[in-house]
A = this chain, B = another copy of it.
Amino acid sequence: MDTQAEIEDFILNGHLRYVPHVSIDCAIFGYHEQQLKVLLIKHKYIEGWCLPGGYIKRTETLVQAANRNVMERTGINNLFLQQFKAFGDPGRARINEFDEEKWFRVTGVRVTKNNWLIDQTISIGFYAITDFSRSVPKPDMMSEDCAWFDIDNLPKLEFDHDEMVKEALHTMRVQLYHYPIGYNLLPEKFTLTEIHALYETLLGKKLDISNFPKKLMALGLLKKLNEKRSIGPHRSPHLYVFDKDAYDKALKEGVVLS
């Protein structure tokens, strides 16, 4: 939404083009050099920070809606967004706090409690992981700000978005052993030290380096190449790649072990 007329039309007539009562929120994780971050935005009409999200057009699929909302709100495109959970506790949308005057001040549009945006909403959570050094977010017209935050230093988020980040992180950590999540975060060929650092950062804990490669290879994630990287005198560690074919096959069959 780029103009005041578009915002007004969305608020007053949006229920004709969007599915009411359902929204989408996206936890976008960013990795770079052993740092893990989350992308947050600050709406003009909400006090604190929250996850980027929005509504679903009546003509789009859920994942299309997730991609469009992230693109519109943050300018970031081409993410591999995955659903992780729907959130629907009564009271999560805080509709009791609706303040007609404040809405008017911020949006320039006068609405009543009957407006489609004020009613109870169930939100579908998506997550993605990207390299934050290559993704510079830009806030849209409805937002004051949009920025990457360290996972260990998040502000208190609005609504139930603290829980959403926690659940997204949990899902990402479990799926780390089933999906090629690290695929775009490492060079095509990488050393054990590199993937070990990535997994430690994503999991938020130390991993025993002597057992680590054995376990990853037992799960069919890694392939050891007959190739080394020369990084100095007497230092030429073996190179590894993700075994993406094995992954794709395992995913299609719904199982990792054989």
A interface with B by C-beta (< 8 Å): 19-22, 56, 58-62, 65, 83, 85-90, 120, 122, 124, 169-170, 173-174, 176-178, 203, 205, 207-208, 215, 218, 253-258
Copies of this chain present: 2
Given contacts A19-B88, A59-B90, A176-B255, 8 further A-B contacts (CB under 8 A): A19-B21, A21-B21, A22-B88, A61-B89, A88-B124, A174-B178, A174-B254, A215-B257
The answer to whether B254 touches A122 (Cβ under 8 A) is: no
With a CB–CB cut-off of 8 A, which chain B residues contact A256?
174, 177
With a CB–CB cut-off of 8 A, which chain B residues contact A86?
62, 83, 86, 124
The residue among A19, A169, A176 with the most chain B CB atoms within 10 A of its own CB is A19
Please measure, in the bound complex, the distance between the C-alpha atom of A256 and the C-alpha atom of B90, giving whole angstroms: 32
4 closest A-B pairs (Cβ-Cβ)?
A: A173-B254, A170-B254, A62-B88, A21-B21
Pick the contact of A88 from B61, B89, B258 — CB < 8 Å? B61
Shortest beta-carbon distance from A51 to chain B in Å: 16
The answer to whether B62 touches A90 (Cβ under 8 A) is: no
Report if A120-B173 is in contact (Cβ < 8 Å); known contacts: A56-B88, A90-B61, A218-B215: no
With a CB–CB cut-off of 8 A, which chain B residues contact A173?
254-255
Pick the contact of A257 from B21, B120, B177 — CB < 8 Å? B177
With a CB–CB cut-off of 8 A, which chain B residues contact A205?
253, 255
